[in-house]
Every structure is written in C-alpha cells, then in structure tokens.
C-alpha cells in the first residue's frame, strides 16, 4: 500500500478505498451499500444535472492523541442537510441514516485518517442528488445519497495567517429570500465568477454584501464572517447566509471566554472598527482576515495591523481544535467517538 505523506496534504480530493451509497426509490430509502467505485451512473435527464436538485455537507473526523476517532457535530450536519433537501424539494435523508452512513464511511477508510501529530483530518462529504429521466421542472422521483471521505491538510497552504479579502459589488451570491441559507451547489455556481476574480487578484475570498441594499456584510466566500471589537464577537444576521456550524460553535466558545456575542446586521462601515476579523467554516475553522478591499469604492479596511492573527482569533481557533482532537473535555457533547 502506498504511504501517504500526511504533512504535505492540501485541501483536495485524494482517493480512498470505499464510499457509501443509499437510494430512495418507490417511496422509501433502501439499504446502505458499500462501493469502491469513484464514479456514479445516472440518467442524463437527472434533475440534479438540469435543475440543481443537489445538496451537500462537509464535516470532519479527527484522530486524537488517545487514538480515538472523533466526528465533530455530526447531528448538526444531518439536520442542516434535511433543511437543504427541503429547500429544493428533495427527499430528506433521515438523521439516523445520515449519521450511520458517515460513520460507516469513516470506519471503512480508517487507514486514511491522518495521525494526530499531522494536524490533518478526514473530510467527510455527504451528497444528495435528484435522479430520474425528466425534462419538465418538477422534483425528482428518485434520490441518491452518497458519502465519500478524503484526507485533508489545512485549508490554507500558508497556515494560520491572515489573508486579504475583496468586496466586489457587481456580484451577488444569493438573493435575500433565495437559497443562501441552504447548502446547495447553485449558490456556489452563482458565486463562481467573483470567487475566481478574487483569487486572480490575490485575495483568498470574496466578501459578499447583502444583495438588496449592498450595505451589510453577508457571506464571506464559502464561510461565515465574524468581527471582534470591544470584547464582543459579532457575526452578521441575514436571510441569505448559510448557518455555519463552526460559527455556532465559535459563538459558544466566545461566551466561554467571557466575550459578548452579537448576531445582527453588520454595516460595511463597521469594518473600520474591528480589532480582529475572520472567516469561519469546517475546512479552515478560522481564516483570519488581514484586510478587506472594497474594489468598487476604492476603500481599504486594514484589520490586522501587524500581519498576525489576533489573540482572540487564535484562542478561539485553539479551543475549537482542542475539542475536535479530544485534547480537552467536550462540555457540550459536540463530538461523536467512532467505536
């Protein structure tokens, strides 16, 4: 068997041994199937291909110092995928089936779970697809739920280091009453042009403003935004932001650290006041923000004054990672140990 170099892993796809699949047909979910195929076969008229009947999740399994494998907040991902399915009229995957499939995929690929020392983890990608031979716009008659896993290193190659983000007013990711609150591929398609532009210009993500007024901070690329000032953790309230489980966890940890937590509209002008800011999500936990350039208004908000991550960002990051790897107690029952 080929030996993986854990330390050089990026955030990309690496083949593993097995994936787990389950079909919804004739009004019910079938048995979980184990597959070693990396491809799927479907009818060319499948609704996931034409009308975006697709939803996904992303969560991680971590190997601890004690050798135990922990999956972080699997119940939250299961519930969010139910909401995503309902949001594009797909058959939701029951929570139990979701959890069972993820755990099975992790166990079957145990040899790909990076060791504790590497700082890497096993990324779990559940995917729900509408199937069927159809050209009319209506929900699919059949669904495929699939879970694959892949070992990943840290999301940002540069490590825990602040990076610049860009505001580009010519693009919206999601409409105020659209699908921004659910994890569907269509949101990523809508954000692809500004994402690529931002990367080309040397930014790590595009910071979207609310689509209606272009006044408030919305989603930060594929992550949630938060800012810190006056001992307060502030994250935007919006009808087009995907509720990040990482953000929800950081809000709790911020309270534990004695900070106030506010979820409310965050006007762009407030960026000038933040002592620290970051983007948060499963992939990176926290990506600290160096500066934010509003490219159309020719404004710059310098967040990190010395090019380093802020103290609170660093502590939040360390506290969350410690729970994920089992270095500290798990006071909120966030972790599922894979037996």
Which chain residues interact with ligand PLP by CB under 6 A? 58, 183, 219, 222-224, 242, 244-247, 281-282
Q: How far is CA 154 from the centre of its chain?
A: 13
Q: How far is the CB of 27 from ligand PLP (least distance, A)?
A: 30
Q: Does residue 329 sit in helix, strand or coil?
A: coil
201 in active site:
no
Q: How many CB atoms lie within 10 A of CB 277?
A: 30
Q: How far is the CB of 5 from ligand PLP (least distance, A)?
A: 26
Q: How far is the CB of 44 from ligand PLP (least distance, A)?
A: 27
Tell me whether residue 141 or residue 176 sits nearer to ligand PLP (CB atom): 176
Going through the chain in order, the beta strands assigned E by DSSP cover: 19-25, 28-29, 33-35, 54-56, 59-63, 69-72, 121-131, 142-152, 163-167, 205-209, 217-220, 224-229, 232-236, 260-264, 276-281, 285-294, 299-302, 335-338
Tell me whether residue 131 or residue 279 sits nearer to ligand PLP (CB atom): 279
Phi, psi dihedral angles at 332 (to 5 degrees)? -110, 10
Phi, psi dihedral angles at 272 (to 5 degrees)? -65, -20
Question: Nearest 5°: CA angle at 304, between 298 and 305?
Answer: 95
Tell me whether residue 55 or residue 338 sits nearer to ligand PLP (CB atom): 55
Q: How far is the CB of 173 from ligand PLP (least distance, A)?
A: 8
Tell me whether residue 132 or residue 151 sits nearer to ligand PLP (CB atom): 151
Annotated catalytic residue within 68, 107, 138, 183: 183
Question: Which segments of the chain does DSSP mark as H helices, in order?
Answer: 47-50, 74-87, 95-108, 185-190, 192-200, 245-256, 311-325
Tell me whether residue 58 or residue 64 sits nearer to ligand PLP (CB atom): 58
Q: How far is the CB of 12 from ligand PLP (least distance, A)?
A: 17
Q: Would you please indicate which residues are annotated as catalytic (active-site) residues? A: 183
């Amino acid at each position: 068997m080929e030996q993986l170099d854990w330390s050089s892993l990026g955030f990309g796809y690496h083949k593993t041994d097995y994936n787990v699949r389950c079909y919804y047909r004739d009004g019910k979910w079938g048995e979980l199937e184990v597959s070693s195929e990396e491809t799927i076969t479907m009818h060319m008229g499948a609704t996931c291909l034409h009308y975006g009947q697709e939803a996904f999740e992303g969560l991680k399994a971590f190997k601890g110092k004690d050798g135990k494998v922990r999956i972080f907040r699997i119940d939250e991902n299961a519930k969010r995928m139910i909401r995503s399915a309902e949001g594009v009229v797909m058959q939701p995957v029951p929570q139990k089936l979701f959890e069972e499939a993820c755990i099975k995929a992790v166990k079957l690929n145990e040899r790909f779970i990076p060791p504790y020392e590497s700082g890497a983890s096993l990324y779990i990608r559940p995917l729900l697809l509408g199937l069927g031979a159809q050209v009319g716009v209506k929900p699919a008659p059949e669904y495929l739920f699939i879970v694959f896993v892949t070992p990943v290193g840290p999301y940002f190659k540069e490590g825990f280091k602040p990076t610049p983000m860009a505001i580009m007013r010519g693009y919206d990711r999601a409409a105020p009453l659209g699908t921004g609150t659910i994890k569907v591929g269509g949101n990523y398609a809508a954000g692809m042009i500004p994402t690529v532009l931002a990367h080309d210009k040397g930014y790590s993500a595009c910071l979207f403003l609310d689509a209606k007024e272009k006044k408030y901070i919305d989603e930060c690329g594929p992550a949630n935004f938060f800012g810190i000032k006056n001992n307060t953790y502030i994250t935007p309230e919006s009808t087009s932001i995907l509720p990040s489980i990482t953000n929800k966890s950081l809000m709790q940890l911020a309270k534990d650290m004695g900070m106030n937590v506010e979820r409310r509209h965050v006007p762009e002008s407030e960026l000038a006041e933040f002592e620290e800011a970051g983007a948060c999500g499963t992939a990176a936990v926290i990506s600290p923000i160096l500066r934010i350039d509003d490219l159309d208004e020719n404004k710059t908000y310098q967040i990190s004054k010395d090019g380093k991550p802020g103290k609170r960002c660093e502590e939040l990051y360390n506290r969350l990672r410690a729970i994920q790897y089992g270095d500290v107690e798990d006071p909120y029952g966030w972790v599922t140990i894979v037996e």
